[in-house]
Amino acid sequence: VPMSRHPSRPRFVAELSQCLFDFVIQLLPTAEEMAVKEDVRKLLERLIRTIEPDSRLLSFGSTANGFSLRNSDMDLCCLIDSDEKLNASNLVTMLGDLLERGLPLGIACDIGFENRLALENTRLLMCYAMIDPTRVRTLVLFLKVWSKRRKINSPYTGTLSSYGYVLLVIYFLVHVKNPPVLPNLQQMPPLRPISKEDTHLGGHNTWFFDDVELLRQRWHSENTETVAELLIDFFRYYSRDFLYNTSVVSIRAGLLKKESKGWQSEYPPGRYNDARERNRLCIEDPFETDYNVARCVTKDGLYTIRGEFMRAGRVLAGRPERAIMALADLCA
Ligand code: CTP
Ligand code: MG
């Protein structure tokens, strides 16, 4: 619907931005919650060190990347720095017991081992969040709440993880928006020469420009769109423009073809059913580039997700009296 036909459209969009900020702010974890989580991490780390003195317990995922909602789970990663990792199985048993019995203060958490790539991709997302905290965090946090309320944030039942949604947002802000809202941190020239050892982890190139302070001085987006405009356009892009059958979302390299990655979803019927089911929606992991973050999304799951993108687009394109009503509708 052309804007000019609705004289109140600009007002609606401005109001929507304000509502999005207000909505997201009340869903942020309190300082107290963050402090309790940090206490739990330290406590667990002390426990683990009684078995394996050379270990560290680090947090990753939403607690560490700036995209955390109130009462969200904590993702923890155990790194063992010594060479002989003899005690690892004892550790796994102990932590398993502990987590089964439940943590103090009702905090839910997952502990993984040696997941160094997850620590790096958490840092990458955090850097993106810090470049333009207001727009990036508001968009991401809103989409996380929205996808949970609309029940399309459930990798175990065929829809997409929060991590997948965050990558969709970053891709949109780096590669779809023109002028871009964010730079491509993985393609910026490094400040000084870097060696292969410094930048590779298990054969994957994990380098990215991580001097956010410098970036905030030197890089300014020409894009002045408001959060509401970006959100409306996000839904438009993923409900109308993105070619799900042939394309791959890559924050590292931009738009890719499934064919070029061997991720085709249209194999001859009857064979390769497995592969076909895995690559309905394709989102390349920023570092583990042969890994499709959306491999868990099934045919039905994708149908539902796309339906939700379209519904959201409709709700925001309609002309509700008040932006607040549109938001309520969106997450109903
Ligand atoms: N991760 C990953 N590969 C995936 C899914 C997750 O590497 N396919 C890692 C990422 O480091 C991500 C973290 O696990 O940041 C947590 O993922 P997820 O739980 O999906 O995101 P959160 O931001 O923690 O969202 P939520 O609050 O919904 O738990
Ligand atoms: Mg999580």
Give the residues across from 74 on adjacent strands.
109
Mean pLDDT across 175-188: 97
User: Residue type for 280, please?
Assistant: R
Q: Residues, the chain, total? A: 332
Q: Are residues 14 and 134 in the same domain?
A: yes
Q: Are residues 110 and 14 in the same domain?
A: no
Q: Are residues 219 and 78 in the same domain?
A: no
Q: What sign does the CA torsion over 230, 231, 233, 237 have? A: positive
Answer yes or no: are the C-beta atoms of 142 and 20 closer than 8 Å.
yes
* Sequence-ordered list of residues with C-beta below 8 angstroms from that of 1, at least 6 positions apart, any chain: 317
Q: Are residues 204 and 280 in the same domain?
A: yes
Cα–Cα distance for residue pair 136/291, rounded to 1 Å = 24
Domain boundary residue among 114, 132, 165?
114
Cα–Cα distance for residue pair 234/240, rounded to 1 Å = 10
Answer yes or no: are the C-beta atoms of 285 and 249 closer than 8 Å.
no
Q: State how far Cα 206 lies from the chain centre.
A: 17
Q: For residue 268, what pLDDT is reported?
A: 56
Give the residues across from 292 on adjacent strands.
284
Residue 161 Cβ < 6 Å to ligand 1: yes
Distance from Cα 72 to the centre of ligand 2, integer Å: 7
Torsion-angle region of 106 (φ positive above 0: left; ψ -120 to 50: alpha; else: beta): left
Distance from Cα 161 to the centre of ligand 2, integer Å: 9
Distance from Cα 283 to the centre of ligand 1, integer Å: 14
Starting at the edge strand found earlier in the chain, the sheet holding 254-257 runs: 254-257, 247-250, 283-284
Helices (H) and strands (E) in the chain, counts: 14, 8
Nearest CA to ligand 1 atom 12: 61
Is residue 67 pLDDT above 90, yes or no?
yes
- Do the bridges between strand 247-250 and strand 204-205 make them parallel or antiparallel, or are there none, so unpaired? unpaired
Q: Are residues 216 and 232 in the same domain?
A: yes
* DSSP element (H, E) containing 23: helix 9-25
Domain boundary residue among 47, 82, 114?
114
Nearest CA to ligand 1 atom 3: 293
Nearest CA to ligand 1 atom 25: 162
Nearest CA to ligand 1 atom 8: 293
Determine the atom of ligand 1 nearest the C-alpha atom of 72.
27
Determine the atom of ligand 1 nearest the C-alpha atom of 73.
29
Domain count, the chain: 2
Answer yes or no: are the C-beta atoms of 297 and 141 closer than 8 Å.
no
**Tokens representing 125?**
């997302």
Residue 165 Cβ < 6 Å to ligand 1: no
Distance from Cα 108 to the centre of ligand 2, integer Å: 10
Residue 286 Cβ < 6 Å to ligand 1: no
Q: Are residues 188 and 201 in the same domain?
A: yes
Residue 63 Cβ < 6 Å to ligand 1: no
Burial degree of 331 (CB within 10 A; 0-12, 13-18, 19+): middle
Cα–Cα distance for residue pair 131/151, rounded to 1 Å = 30
Q: Are residues 109 and 156 in the same domain?
A: no
Domain hosting residue 43, numbered range? 31-114
Q: Are residues 92 and 207 in the same domain?
A: no
Cα–Cα nearest to 185, from 251, 114, 231, 240: 251
Cα–Cα distance for residue pair 176/121, rounded to 1 Å = 21
Q: Are residues 170 and 254 in the same domain?
A: yes
- Do the bridges between strand 74-80 and strand 200-201 make them parallel or antiparallel, or are there none, so unpaired? unpaired
- Is the ipTM here above 0.95? yes
**pLDDT tens for residues 254-295?**
999 999 999 986 555 555 555 557 899 999 999 999 999 999
Residue that wins the pLDDT comparison between 294 and 87:
294
Q: Are residues 67 and 150 in the same domain?
A: no
Q: What's the CATH number where 90 sits?
A: 3.30.460.10
Residue 72 Cβ < 6 Å to ligand 1: yes
**pLDDT tens for residues 184-239?**
999 998 888 888 888 899 899 999 999 999 999 988 999 999 999 999 999 999 99
Q: What's the CATH number where 248 sits?
A: 1.10.1410.10
**pLDDT tens for residues 117-147?**
999 999 999 999 999 999 999 999 999 999 9
Distance from Cα 227 to the centre of ligand 1, integer Å: 23
Q: Are residues 100 and 160 in the same domain?
A: no
**Tokens representing 75?**
């993702």
Burial degree of 296 (CB within 10 A; 0-12, 13-18, 19+): buried
Domain boundary residue among 88, 114, 140?
114
Cα–Cα distance for residue pair 18/320, rounded to 1 Å = 16
User: pTM above 0.90?
Assistant: yes
Torsions phi, psi for 259 (to 5 deg): -55, -45
Residue 163 Cβ < 6 Å to ligand 1: yes
Distance from Cα 109 to the centre of ligand 2, integer Å: 8
